[in-house]
Chain A
Amino acid sequence: MRLRIVPDNTNINFFAMARVTFGGSLVMLAASVVVFFVMGLNFGIDFKGGSTIRTESENPVDVGAYRTAIAPLELGDVIITEVFDPTFGDDRNVASVRIQTQGDAESISAETIAAVEAALVGIDPTITFPSVESVGPKVSGELIQSAIVAVLGSLVAILFYIWLRFEWQFAVGAIVALIHDVGLTIGLFSLLQIKFDLAIIAALLTIVGYSINDTVVVFDRVRENLRKFKTMPLVEVLNLSANETLSRTVMTSGTTLLALLALLVLGGDVIRGFVFAIFWGIIVGTYSSIYIAKNVVLMLGVKRDWTPKDPKAGTKFADIDA
């Protein structure tokens, strides 16, 4: 007996609740934009400049005491967060101390770091510092720039590729779905105030890659069915294609999410934010390829006559089943 997550021969009308699904997504996207502008992102030192010191101690982390110890140094905004991980035992208590850039200096001085470390050792002699990272404002500015270039560049490249391989309506549908995925991910990171650094940009691009993969598989089937059923209304072709590929969509998302879940729980706290972003992105990416991309194609309409103009050149398009 085989496991069937999705039963055979489904016939779900994915457009039945378009108002709820597509409309709901638009509302969520709008909410993400609002949250982004109201709460902003919790930028890591990659984008904001400053230093992050990771502390590890045998004693429980007392954020308040850390703060009091560092306060006399007058370093401005200091963010101290305790780091949790299921693999840490009782004698491993980890925290992260983030210091902003001091004045207009290009890098945080060694003295500042040493002073912070000394202050912390003063209240907890068992404390060690497994990693210290500093990024100057000049580099962080460039990193923001290259991050934006990377995300926009990949969107444009994908738009172009889909346009080449399909019709332009499909390309627009795919891009709307991608903007939805990236938007909701940024919105969630803003809402939960999870640290947003260079790795999250990599995660965003991975989401873009995964989501487009999902969307393309559905589109590929739509294209095939458009040729096969020349008179079937577009909405039915889209529904049929989504139903036919549903089992694959769920299966692939399932295996990927399973692998990522292992990484999320066991992969350590250093990459948790990164893995969380991809995990969330795959959920919204799968959703968007079913509920967003197709809706846009439906709204824009597509060319229905796929018969080649020159009948002699048409053999390679011949339907194998015909």
Chain B
Amino acid sequence: MMHISTWRRILIWLVCLAGLVFALPNLFYSRVETANDAREVIESGQSNAELEAAASLWPSFLPSGLVNLGLDLRGGAHLLAEVQVADVYAARMESLWPELRDTLAVERDTLGFVTREESADDELRVRISNPEAAARALELARGLSRPVTSLTGAGTSDIEVRADGAELILTLSEAERAATDDRTVRQALEIVRRRIDEVGTREPTIQRHGADRILIEVPGVGSAEEIKQIIGTTAQLTFQPVVSTASSAEENPGANNEILPSLDSPGVFYVLERSPVVTGEELVDAQPSFDQNGRPAVNFRFNPQGARAFGDYTAENIGSPFAIVLDDEVISAPVIQSHIPGGSGIITGDFSLEESTNLAVLLRAGALPAGLNFLEERTIGPELGADSIEAGKLAALVGSLAVVVLMIASYGIFGVFATIALSFNIVLIFAVLSLLGATLTLPGIAGIVLTVGMAVDANVLIYERIREELKTARGPARAIDLGYEKALSAILDGNVTTLITAIILFLVGSGPVRGFAVTLGLGILTSVFTAIFVTRLLIVIWFERRRPKTIEV
């Protein structure tokens, strides 16, 4: 006979109650959000009356987890960037050249002159004038390599050297490349995060995506273009020796030199030595300040290594100009007046106060180790998102009402039970979404509406089965029992197959589609619970009170 043990009844009601409590904050979305934001600030140590007032908008003993709104509902910018990991190989080769030159120069008597040859970006090619000594040069060059610092690459060295007649060819080893790639992406990720945080938007998502990609999602106002400008500015700062000035970019700069334009004066170009004396990587601090004439400038300080290189260079080259280069443009090319020890200096130029502040921020955040290539950009206006929420709410409401009317018209009191179960189903979906901190997207709302339609399926299966069992006339209680029992296998098979597709969607899909998979999958789980346990409990309670001789389903 129909019987549900007391502890089981309590458990079912507890789950429903927990659902209500955890779904509750979403009814007061903006209020809870304000309170949560305020609490976060207070936790970080700040506090004032305004923050306390905002925090008290929502009582702290209640759960405060909210469903995250996806970009398509909240508006914001979505970017997928690919880190140009190969950029780093070129930079490594560039910095290897002076080192190699100095190493080989020690044995100039046997090796002869060392010249650098044109080569692909990811290799370094040098020629020695005494081809017979190639073996010795090879040996010296190999001495430059160091063991790879990674778990998988342990035991291998970072640089591979081979000889091709009188030429030495240096490349990074496979293991070193893999280690470098990983380091580059992690660095880029960190720098992107810092730059976006400096600007201070709320809750950005910055994640590594696959081997060499970074996914950036910034909710709220702002366009993908703005975000790109904030993170895309590489802020590569270098200090390079000036060879001469030039009047156009087309002139031949000569071997190992390059021509770069001036930032402020159009038509002025500088011929610079390609290998920098110091780079922005050796900066430890940069602050906006003013020069002796009261114009905006940027103060900077090097780490000890950079300070030594900078000090040595300025001591040896008093009277000659050197260039401060930012992102392949010469900011200024002052003449070195004196030896600059201590490693601090000032960048002056034609800056506005805002420009000098931005430059300082960019320098402090550090240079991106490699360029970013944007593969995907989406900007969704907040109004469009708000419209979508409104449309989704209205559609969900109207859809649910229509389903409820149809259910009650078809199954009478049993339709009412199914409706109550359906309400708990939606409540439970929101409760679980809030607990998981999952993201609700527009297709996600469609998933909920679809679940509403499909959630009644389990009840329909059961009710139709009860109707059939009633025909064999063994009393209503037995019919209800059999209805539940026999409908179960169909319910499980049907829902498992749908769950399989939801899981595959979740694994393969991204963004909004994944949001759909989440609500669909959750909806299936909660609907099986509400249809089987909640309606059954409701029917049993109703049956125990009324003890009907006959029932009509």
- Contact surface of A with B, Cβ cutoff 8 Å: 2-5, 8, 54, 87, 106-107, 110, 113, 128-136, 138-139, 146-147, 149-150, 153-154, 157-158, 161-162, 165, 198-199, 201-202, 205-206, 208-210, 212-214, 216-217, 219-221, 224, 244-245, 247-248, 251-252, 254-263, 265-268, 270-271, 274-275, 278, 320-321
Given contacts A150-B509, A202-B516, A320-B482, contact A139 B442 (CB under 8 A): no
Q: Which of A134, A139, A158, A271 contacts B497 (CB 8 A)?
A: A158
**Chain A residue contacts of B498, Cβ below 8 A:** 209-210, 212-213
Task: Say whether, besides A220-B489, A252-B457, A106 and B375 are in contact (CB < 8 Å).
Answer: yes
Q: How large is the interface on B (under 10, 10 to 19, 20 to 34, 35 or more residues)?
A: 35 or more
The residues of A that contact B72 with a CB separation of less than 8 Å are 270
Q: Which of chain B's residues has its CB closest to A321's CB? A: B472
Interchain nearest-CB distance for A170 vs B (Å): 11
Give A107 to B372 CA distance when docked, in angstroms: 12
Q: Which residues of B contact A134 (CB under 8 A)?
A: 224, 376-378
Q: Does B218 contact A (CB under 8 A)?
A: no
The interface residues of chain A lying within 8 Å CB-to-CB of B472 are: 321
A251 x B410 contact (CB < 8 A): yes
Q: Name the A residues within 8 Å of B493 (CB-CB).
A: 165, 216-217, 219-220
Is B501 in contact with chain A by the CB < 8 A criterion? yes
Q: Is B496 an interface residue (CB 8 A)?
A: yes
Contact across chains for B504 and A131 when beta carbons are under 8 A apart: no
20 more A-B contacts (CB under 8 A) besides A201-B509, A209-B500, A267-B395?
A: A2-B412, A3-B406, A5-B410, A54-B384, A134-B224, A135-B376, A153-B504, A199-B513, A205-B501, A209-B520, A220-B489, A220-B490, A251-B460, A252-B456, A258-B402, A260-B453, A262-B399, A267-B392, A271-B388, A275-B446
Of all chain B residues, which has the CB nearest A269?
A: B391
Q: Are B509 and A198 in contact (CB under 8 A)?
A: yes
Give the distance to chain B from A176, nearest Cβ to Cβ, in Å: 15
Contact yes or no, A262 B398, CB < 8 A: yes
In-complex Cβ contact of A259 among B394, B442, B452, B508 (8 A): B452
Bound: A4/B463 CA distance, A: 13
Beta-carbon nearest neighbor of A220 in chain B: B490
B509, closest chain A residue (CB)? A202
Residues on A with beta carbons closer than 8 Å to the beta carbon of B391:
87, 266-268
With A110-B225, A131-B384 as known contacts, state yes or no: A162 contacts B450, CB within 8 Å: no
Known pairs A2-B409, A252-B456, A266-B391; A198 contacts B381 (CB<8 A): no
Asked if B137 CB lies within 8 Å of chain A CBs, one says no
Residue among B223, B224, B403, B457 with max Cβ neighbours from chain A (10 Å): B457
Q: Are B406 and A221 in touch, CB under 8 angstroms?
A: no
Chain B residue contacts of A270, Cβ below 8 A: 72, 384, 388, 442
- Known A130-B380, A255-B407, A255-B456; contact A271-B399, beta-carbon cutoff 8 A: no
A residues less than 8 Å from B552 (CB atoms) = 2
Asked if B107 CB lies within 8 Å of chain A CBs, one says no
Please report which residues of chain B, range 376-417, place their CB below 8 angstroms from some CB of chain A when the two chains form the complex.
376-381, 383-384, 387-388, 391-392, 394-396, 398-400, 402-403, 406-407, 409-412
B321 within 8 A of A: no
Q: Kindly list chain B residues whose C-beta atoms are within 8 Å of the C-beta of A54.
A: 384
Which residues of B sit under 8 angstroms from A3, Cβ to Cβ?
Answer: 406, 409-410
A-B pairs with beta carbons under 8 A, tally: 236
Q: Which residues of B contact A252 (CB under 8 A)?
A: 453-454, 456-457, 460-461
Nearest CB of B to A101, in Å: 12
B443 within 8 A of A: yes
- Residues from chain A with a CB closer than 8 A to the CB of B446 are 263, 267, 271, 274-275, 278
Q: Are A131 and B379 in contact (CB under 8 A)?
A: yes
- Using a CB–CB cutoff of 8 Å, the interface residues on chain B facing chain A are 72, 80, 82, 223-225, 228, 373-381, 383-384, 387-388, 391-392, 394-396, 398-400, 402-403, 406-407, 409-412, 442-443, 445-446, 449-450, 452-454, 456-457, 460-461, 464, 467-468, 472, 482, 485-486, 489-490, 493-498, 500-502, 504-505, 508-509, 512-513, 516-517, 520, 552
A274-B443 CB under 8 A given contacts A150-B504, A202-B516? yes
Closest residue of A by beta carbon distance from B404: A255
CB distance from B8 to the nearest CB of A (A): 22
**A153: which B residues are within 8 A, CB to CB?**
504, 508
Measured between beta carbons, the chain A residues less than 8 angstroms from B388 are: 268, 270-271
Q: A150-B504, A202-B505, A208-B501 are in contact. Are A248 and B461 (CB under 8 A)?
A: yes
Is A201 a contact partner of B513 (Cβ separation < 8 A)? Answer: yes
Chain A residues, Cβ within 8 Å of B452:
259
B400: contacting residue among A149, A202, A259, A266, CB under 8 A: A259
Inter-chain CA distance A8–B552, complex, in Å, is 13
Contact A259 B449 (CB under 8 A): yes
7 closest pairs, A vs B, by CB? A256-B453, A262-B399, A268-B391, A259-B399, A259-B453, A130-B381, A209-B501
A107/B374 contact (C-beta < 8 A), A202-B505, A209-B501, A255-B406 known: yes
Q: Name A262's closest neighbour in chain B (CB-CB).
A: B399
Say whether B497 contacts A162, CB under 8 Å: yes
A244 to B469, CA, bound (A): 12
- The CA-CA distance from A321 to B72 in the complex, in Å, is 54
Q: Which B residues are in CB contact (< 8 Å) with A260? A: 399, 449-450, 453
- Whether A146 contacts B508 in the complex (CB less than 8 A), given A216-B494, A217-B494, comes out as yes
Name the A residues within 8 Å of B225 (CB-CB): 110, 113
Contacts of A271 in B (CB 8 A): 388, 442-443, 446
Of B403, B410, B496, which is within 8 A of A4 by CB? B410
**Cβ distance A295 to chain B, nearest Cβ, rounded Å:** 20
C-alpha gap A248/B520 in the complex (Å): 21
Q: List 23 A-B contacts (CB under 8 A).
A: A132-B223, A133-B379, A135-B376, A146-B508, A154-B501, A158-B500, A198-B512, A206-B516, A206-B520, A209-B502, A212-B497, A221-B490, A251-B460, A251-B464, A255-B456, A255-B457, A256-B454, A260-B453, A262-B396, A267-B446, A271-B443, A278-B446, A320-B485
Query: How far, in Å, is A65 (CB) from chain B's closest CB?
Result: 23
Q: Determine the distance from Cα of A224 to Cα of B465 in the docked complex, in whole angstroms.
A: 13
Across-interface contacts of A133 in B (CB, < 8 A):
377-380
A205 in contact with B490 given A130-B384, A255-B407, A259-B403 (CB within 8 Å): no
Identify the closest chain A residue to B442 (Cβ): A271
Closest residue of B by beta carbon distance from A129: B381
CB distance from A153 to the nearest CB of B (A): 5
Residue of A nearest to B229 (CB): A110
- Tell me the complex Cα distance, A217–B407, Å: 20
Q: Please give, as numbers and ranges, the residues of chain A lying within 8 Å of B392 by CB-CB distance.
A: 263, 267-268
Taking the closest CB of chain B, its distance from the CB of A117, in whole angstroms, is 11
- Chain B residues near A321 (CB-CB < 8 A): 472
